Amino acid sequence: MKNSKNEKSTNSKVDQLRDHTTDNTGEMLTTNQGLKINNNQDSLRSGERGPSLLEDFILREKITHFDHERIPERIVHARGSGAHGVFKINKSLAKYTKANFLSEEGKETPVFVRFSTVAGSAGSTDLARDVRGFAIKFYTEEGNYDLVGNNIPVFFIQDAMKFPDLVHAVKPEPDNAIPQAASAHDTFWDFISLMPESMHMIMWAMSDRAIPRSYRMMEGFGVHTFKFINEEGKMHFVKFHFKPKLGVHSVAWDEATKISGKDSDFHRRDLWEAIENGAFPEWDFGVQIIPEEDEHKFDFDLLDPTKLIPEEEVPVELVGTLTLNRNPDNFFAETEQIAFHPGHLVPGIDFTNDPLLQGRLFSYTDTQLSRLGSPNFHEIPINRSINTVHNNQRDGHMRQQIVKGKVSYEPNTIGGGCPFQAMMKEGGFTSQEERVDGQKIRARSQSFVDHYSQAKLFYNSQSEPEKTHLQNALIFELSKVTIPAIRERVVGQLNFINKELASLVAKKVGVDVTKLQQPNGSIPADADPKTLQSTEKEPSTKSSEALSMKNTVKDTIKSRVIGFVMENGVNAKDVKTLKSKLEKEEAVVQIIAGSLAPVKADDGTIFEPKHSLTSTASVCFDALYLCSGKNSAENLLNEDNKPGTLLFVNEAYKHCKAIYFGKETDEIYNASNVKGKKHEDSAIITSESNNSDESFIKAVSNHRVWELEKDRNNPA
């Protein structure tokens, strides 16, 4: 007779194994093997500031599982665009590094660059508020070198242990897969509210840097501190910068939301068309060099990826040029299959013990194994080194290289000892020799504790319009958070950055401002009380001009897209004259009419519209020209065209763009929201203005007149 008690027990166990649902409420963290975890914040390392240890099975399990969560698109940076180009070193860095491609003045190196958003899927919009990836593969004669950076110089977290948590928090919430490509939701801000180290990055992410006008108009940063090593073995720390020659420019948030509806491929199309039109995107390459002996001279830790080095303390020396000059032949084969890895180095460049970088060194190869399906991903054409590969690695899925001979091991005599190890003088890679010792410890260095000083620095450095945009971004994001306690914690974090900012946001998101003065509730969970007290004594007034887009390049209209709005009867002479002047400055002119039917000018000239008033919107253009001609103006205001014409003008005006009203267009001017601002607004040009064509060109080069934003709150 069966033991019913044992049978019930056994069946319960089977049912438990078959039931894959679980509820983490009230439960402790464990590994996938059920081992309880008592520190989920820090990786295991040799000393507080030492390298991470390979034996850290908890870190490896966590990141390995994370790396294989999605197939086949990238877990992060899934939405991307890329192009081929060339990197030229204009000033030798041989004094600091033996890297060949940086040491020979005038040397050119082929590259492939991939830009991307971080949080969204491959099908999401280009205009999400998000960090942008800026990854470069240098095909050097010493092997491939990958610089895998972002358009923001710092990051959310200090240790790779927290990367899966960060991405899980910002991705669509797992119960309903909402929202896509957006951080404005509960789980992201819940995580951020409990991570004081993220606040510097939050200032950047909520700023206009997170909604760039174009990939061609955003900066690139290596994020981490790396090492340069010269021929003598002397080491310097280095930070990498790419500064766009067109300047750093953004769109307004209202524009971004509308562009997403009109053209969700806006950035991808912009990059592709610029290259096709010969307006090759260019960046100045710069470095911040820090002697090894100056490692500890700063009031922050060079190994902390949530910190930047202010350019006032260490200027960026511009030494090279990055140019993108060829679009991919096949998006999937090149842009999608390219595999980056910060561990792809060349002699003369080395890692630091930055704990976020150390984790990335493990993660990237592991990700490619899942995403590209084989350890032979390096044999995909876009990933191949320009050097022939010689080693004893064999076989595996999709192996392409055919290696002759019977030897696949080393050392050997059958193959004459080949392939043999390269001596250092023959270009062999060697890591910097440095002393590493310390207690085995899972903890963070006290030099990483200050989480607010640089967040203050960034906020203080913004112009008033930029501060307004940042404030509005925080208000928008937190208004989407449904849990009051999370909003309260975030505002509490903001209070340690700027009390006025915190109060303004608090009032708009329903947080009791008086609670900000209380010692408990608003203080971050893992913050050091001494640090919090010191940050509250006196508000920091330090600022850095390099952190504000107000000081960026504003002397070119190259590749700017100007919309010429016209209808039948347009003044052909004025159109041709202005079009010629703009194209001489390398701007792009696109004609917009009531429909795509040819437009007949006053002299019989036929203009072919690229867009209709209903197929596009002013948000897709950098500036507008309401073309001269009384008949054209009247036709633009007829029953069919008037709503679209005025929407174009009013939205462009609201977004502080340059608008040029040609001759005999007063009827449009007077019907629009621009009325009453004649001769008072530097972005509004009329035919009555002095040197009106030249004034328009100057206004376009200024990008926007953000300072007048408050005067432009007319409904669009």
pLDDT tens, position by position, 405-456: 998 888 989 999 888 787 777 778 878 888 888 889 999 999 999 999 999 9
Measured CA to CA, the distance from residue 380 to residue 397 in angstroms comes to 12
At residue 677 the predicted structure's pLDDT band, cuts being 50, 70 and 90, is low
Position 400 in a domain: no
Domain membership of residue 93 (yes or no) is yes
Alpha helices in 171-326 (DSSP H): 186-193, 199-205, 253-262, 266-276
Within a domain: residue 156?
yes
Dihedral pair phi/psi, residue 375, rounded to 5°: -70, -5
pLDDT given for residue 655 in this prediction: 96
Same domain, 513 and 572: no
CA torsion, ordered 471, 474, 480, 482, to nearest 10 deg = -110
What's phi and psi for 7, nearest 5 deg?
Answer: -65, -45
How crowded is the C-beta side of 436, counted as CA atoms within 13 Å?
Answer: 14
Same structural domain, 674 and 579: yes
364 is in an annotated binding site: yes
Radius of gyration of the chain (CA): 28
Indicate the residue among 527, 550, 573 that finishes a domain.
Answer: 550
CB neighbourhood size of 265 (10 A): 15
Residue 423, by phi and psi: left (phi above 0), alpha (psi -120 to 50) or beta? beta
Give the number of domains in the chain: 3
Whether residue 190 sits in one domain with residue 146:
yes
pLDDT digits over 481-501, tens only?
A: 999 999 999 999 999 999 999
Cis peptide before 179 (omega within 30 of 0): yes
Across all residues in the chain, what is the average pLDDT? 90
In contact, 633 and 626? CB cutoff 8 Å:
yes
Q: Report, as residue numbers or ranges, the catalytic residues.
A: 77, 150
Per-residue confidence (pLDDT) for residue 24, from 0 to 100: 81
The residue from 532, 550, 568 where one domain ends is 550
- Residue 458 assigned to a binding site: no
How do strand 226-229 and strand 588-593 relate by DSSP bridges?
Answer: unpaired
Amino acid at 599: V
Assess if residue 501 is contained within a domain: yes
Measured from the Cβ of residue 555, the count of other Cβ atoms closer than 10 Å reads 9
The answer to whether residues 141 and 103 touch, using CB atoms and an 8 Å cutoff, is no
Residue 539's pLDDT band (cuts 50, 70, 90): very low
Cα dist from 516 to 40, 398, 536, 539, whole Å: 29, 59, 12, 15
Please provide the DSSP assignment of 245-274 as one string.
TT---B--HHHHHHHHHH-TTHHHHHHHHH
Q: How confident is the model at residue 392 (pLDDT cuts 50, 70, 90)?
A: confident
Amino acid (one-letter) located at 114? R
> Is 442 marked as binding a ligand?
no
Within this chain, do residues 175 and 81 fall inside the same structural domain, yes or no?
Answer: yes
* Predicted pLDDT of residue 616: 96
Whether 397 has a pLDDT exceeding 70, the answer reads yes
- Residue 341: per-residue pLDDT: 94
User: Residue 324: enclosing H or E segment and its boundaries?
Assistant: strand 317-326
Question: Is 411 inside any structural domain?
Answer: no
Is there a single domain that holds both residue 654 and residue 528? no
Could you list the residue range(s) of the whole structural domain that residue 458 is in? 452-550
Q: Are residues 513 and 580 in the same domain?
A: no
Entry field: residues in the chain: 716
Run of H or E including 579: helix 572-584
Residue 4 counted as domain residue: no
The HSE-up count of residue 229 (CA atoms within 13 Å, CB side) is 18
101 and 85, same structural domain?
A: yes
pTM recorded for the entire structure: 0.89
* 312 shares a domain with 456: no
Angle at 500 between CA 473 and CA 542, to 5 degrees: 95
Three-class DSSP category at 553:
coil
User: 18 labelled as ligand-binding?
Assistant: no
Is 409 inside a domain boundary? no
Beta bridge partners of 562: 589, 623
Choose among 306, 375, 378: nearest CA to 146.
378
Say which CATH number the domain at 542 has. Answer: 1.20.1370.20
Gap between the Cα atoms of 459 and 154, Å rounded: 14
d(CA 331, CA 172): 26
Q: Is residue 122 part of a domain?
A: yes
Last residue of a domain, one of 315, 330, 363: 363
CATH number at residue 697: 3.40.50.880
Asked if 41 and 142 count as a contact pair (C-beta separation under 8 A), the reply is no
Q: Is residue 549 exposed (0-12), middle (13-18) or buried (19+ Cβ within 10 Å)?
A: buried
Q: Both 545 and 576 in a single domain? A: no
Give the per-residue pLDDT at 636.
Answer: 98
139 is in an annotated binding site: no
Whether residues 568 and 478 share a domain: the answer is no
Instruction: Identify the band that residue 507 occupies on the pLDDT scale cut at 50, 70 and 90.
Output: very high
Ligand-binding annotation for 489, yes or no, is no
pLDDT for 557-591, tens place per residue?
999 999 999 999 999 999 999 999 999 999 999 99
Q: pLDDT tens across 207-240, in order?
A: 999 999 999 999 999 999 999 999 999 999 999 9
72-to-121, 378, 528 alpha-carbon distances in Å: 11, 17, 41
Partnered with residue 220 across adjacent β-strands are: 242
Residues 192, 290 within the same domain: yes
Regarding whether 465 and 562 lie in a shared domain, the answer is no
